[in-house]
Amino acid sequence: MTERAAFGDWMKSVQAAIEEAMASFLPRETDTPARLHEAMRYASMDGGKRVRPLLVFAAGELFDAKHDALARAAAAVEMIHAYSLVHDDMPCMDDDALRRGKPTVHVKFDEATALLVGDALQSQAFLVLADGDGDVVRKLAMVRLLASASGSVGMCGGQAIDLASIGVTLSLEELEQMHRLKTGALLRASVLLGALSGKTPSDLETAALDKYAEAIGLAFQVVDDVLDATADSATLGKTAGKDAADNKPTYVSILGLEESRLLAEKLRSDAHLAVAQFGNKAQRLRELADLIVQRKA
Amino acid sequence: MTERAAFGDWMKSVQAAIEEAMASFLPRETDTPARLHEAMRYASMDGGKRVRPLLVFAAGELFDAKHDALARAAAAVEMIHAYSLVHDDMPCMDDDALRRGKPTVHVKFDEATALLVGDALQSQAFLVLADGDGDVVRKLAMVRLLASASGSVGMCGGQAIDLASIGVTLSLEELEQMHRLKTGALLRASVLLGALSGKTPSDLETAALDKYAEAIGLAFQVVDDVLDATADSATLGKTAGKDAADNKPTYVSILGLEESRLLAEKLRSDAHLAVAQFGNKAQRLRELADLIVQRKA
């Protein structure tokens, strides 16, 4: 019970830190163009569980990273995530009107603004990451890592495969490859950005973090699919049952509900095992793996 | 005549170099996701006059920059430019079907792909810029410069102001501010990226380049407006007369045609004057100012 309470407190403190970091790293709403800046904040403030920032901070603990460096890296990766949600929700993609229980950006503002919000949030992410103090060689490595995880062989590439897969029968391997790019790449980047915010990890340590990231990345998606099939829109804060309605392949449609739940549990064990070498210092990473698998929304 | 011919040859050699650089810095069409990679190349290869890469190379001559560093910086800024065209052309923005005489990306492929092409080209630009050899401090400065020029207080911000200005009466100052962000910021970044590809410019040199960039940035837009009002679609390779049809404020609508032409000439002189201190080494920059003002498309 003590451990649990401690994790909850830690989570809240990171969430507060990322909220503060986002507020300070985003252009002010009063600066021109004010409406764009207002929409950028609408899209990225006060949002979600902040899983990626939590991963940044948790991985940073392994390498004694300083708070300011972690807050900067976490804000950058969260801006990329926020931009991807804004663009995903647009009519030409998922056409979703609800996100985190609020109207999506193109509904609240307009489509052109949503397009620009996403574009500008991406630029801002790289600006934030390249700015500030810290070792320049590692900073440049972080820019490359985030750019690669965001682009055509990362998140955007996963989206493209996802689009092409509607109504198509995917094998489990193809589904995994799609998610490895679509959500896995940015989750992996979060873990490695956290590590790079401290000392440079060794190859062995990077390999361990990669294994951890791979496991939680897939777990994240399996659980998403389970929730999409079982929870309601109010709980999720977004439209439930969309995948089935859109005829999209999911873990549930391929493996069934029970098998998907078992897979999520197995991936949780894999994640724990991957970071065993870090001992106590990896406690937050283990707790985050638990959170990802046991979440209800 | 000799000078002119030499400039033409230099321009062709830079255009060939940027074509080669783009080909090598973009993911291969055969790599997964192949359709996205094909569309990224369709959007950015074999396109336009390559004004921004020309500026990168011309400014690089002042600071003895190496070819490889210039090619990398030029490819990065051109990817940002290409992504902005893809997103601008989308139905929720300018809704244009023709670009450089070819169907726009959302027409040739589809809207969702156009959205992802732009997003992935932006990531790729930062990956390319942060990669490769060279002084890491200057590289990081280049990332910050390009990110700032692309984002909400640069290109995207200019787009947002442009969107908000349809059917609105703008003053000359407001029109200038819009274009300073919308096109000026990236042209300025091109000049400074070229400089940073060589030695670090002094504050005085940076100020001179800023003045030059400011002048050609505005000249570029004034000439664009003149051409939009006077040329035909076949010559422009895009839909002519769109600004008037869209009821957008332009230099021509505010100043009239003759006054706009005089302004473009004045800005050309300003650009020449700004780089006078660099002597012969600034010849390419002067020739580019001439090209920008005297172009017919």
- CATH number of the CATH domain containing A290: 1.10.600.10
Res A2: pLDDT: 45
Res B220: pLDDT: 94
* Alpha carbon distance B42, B27 (integer Å): 12
The reply to whether residue A126 touches residue B147, judged by beta carbons under 8 angstroms, is yes
Over residues B100-128, mean pLDDT: 97
Asked if omega into A53 is within 30° of 0 (cis), the reply is no
Mean pLDDT by 10 residues, chain A (297 residues): 69 97 97 96 92 98 96 98 98 93 96 98 98 94 98 97 86 90 96 95 96 96 92 70 74 94 97 97 97 90
Nearest to A230 by CA among A261, A272, A268: A261
Count of domains forming chain A: 1
Over residues B275-280, mean pLDDT: 96
The reply to whether residue A140 touches residue B136, judged by beta carbons under 8 angstroms, is yes
* Alpha carbon distance B269, B272 (integer Å): 5
Task: Please tell me the pTM assigned to this model.
Answer: 0.94
| Residues in chain A closer than 8 A to B40 (CB atoms) | 152
With contact defined as beta carbons under 8 Å apart, do B124 and A151 qualify?
A: yes
With contact defined as beta carbons under 8 Å apart, do B67 and B45 qualify?
A: no
* Alpha carbon distance B254, B249 (integer Å): 7
Res B171: pLDDT: 87
* Alpha carbon distance B75, B27 (integer Å): 13
Res B233: pLDDT: 67
Res A1: pLDDT: 41
Higher pLDDT, B153 or B6: B153
Three-class secondary structure of residue B99 per DSSP: strand
Per-chain mean pLDDT for chain A: 93
pLDDT above 50: residue B2:
no
Q: For B227-238, give the DSSP string.
A: HHHHS-HHHHTS
Res A174: pLDDT: 87
Higher pLDDT, B173 or B289: B289
Res B21: pLDDT: 97
The pLDDT tens digits of the residues spanning A219-274 come to 999 999 999 899 876 676 666 677 766 677 889 989 999 999 999 999 999 999 99
Quote the domain boundaries for residue A242. 2-294
* Alpha carbon distance A271, A295 (integer Å): 16
List the single residue in A84, A112, A159 with the smallest CB-CB distance to B163.
A112
- For B129, name the nearest residue in chain A, comparing CA atoms only: A144
Range list of H helices, chain A: 2-25, 34-44, 51-60, 67-89, 105-108, 111-130, 136-150, 155-164, 172-179, 185-196, 203-230, 233-236, 242-245, 251-255, 257-274, 283-294
With contact defined as beta carbons under 8 Å apart, do B144 and A131 qualify?
A: yes
pLDDT above 70: residue B1:
no
The reply to whether residue B143 touches residue A144, judged by beta carbons under 8 angstroms, is no
Three-class secondary structure of residue B102 per DSSP: strand
Res A4: pLDDT: 43
Number of neighbours of residue A24 by Cβ within 10 angstroms: 12
Res A237: pLDDT: 67
Res A127: pLDDT: 98
Res A171: pLDDT: 87
The secondary element (H helix, E strand) that includes residue B55 is helix B51-60
Say what the alpha-carbon torsion angle B10, B12, B16, B21 is, to the nearest 10 degrees: 50
The reply to whether residue A116 touches residue B36, judged by beta carbons under 8 angstroms, is no
Higher pLDDT, B282 or B249: B282
Res B168: pLDDT: 82
pLDDT above 70: residue B4:
no
* Alpha carbon distance B225, B293 (integer Å): 12
The b/e string for B91-116 (b: 16+ C-beta within 10 A; e otherwise) is bbbbebebbeebebbbbbbebbbbbb
Paired sense of beta strands A98-99 and B98-99, if any = unpaired
* Alpha carbon distance A68, A62 (integer Å): 16
| Residues in chain A closer than 8 A to B157 (CB atoms) | 32-33, 36, 120
Give residue for tokens 């790019």: A181
Compute and round to an integer the Cα radius of gyration of chain B: 18
Supply A221's token pair. Answer: 């998606």
ipTM passes above 0.85: yes
Question: DSSP secondary-structure letter at A98?
Answer: E
- For B41, name the nearest residue in chain A, comparing CA atoms only: A152
* Alpha carbon distance B277, A150 (integer Å): 42
Res B100: pLDDT: 86
Nearest to A118 by CA among B140, B150, B164: B150
The pLDDT tens digits of the residues spanning B214-223 come to 999 999 999 9
Q: How many angstroms separate the CA of residue B37 from the nearest CA in chain A? A: 7
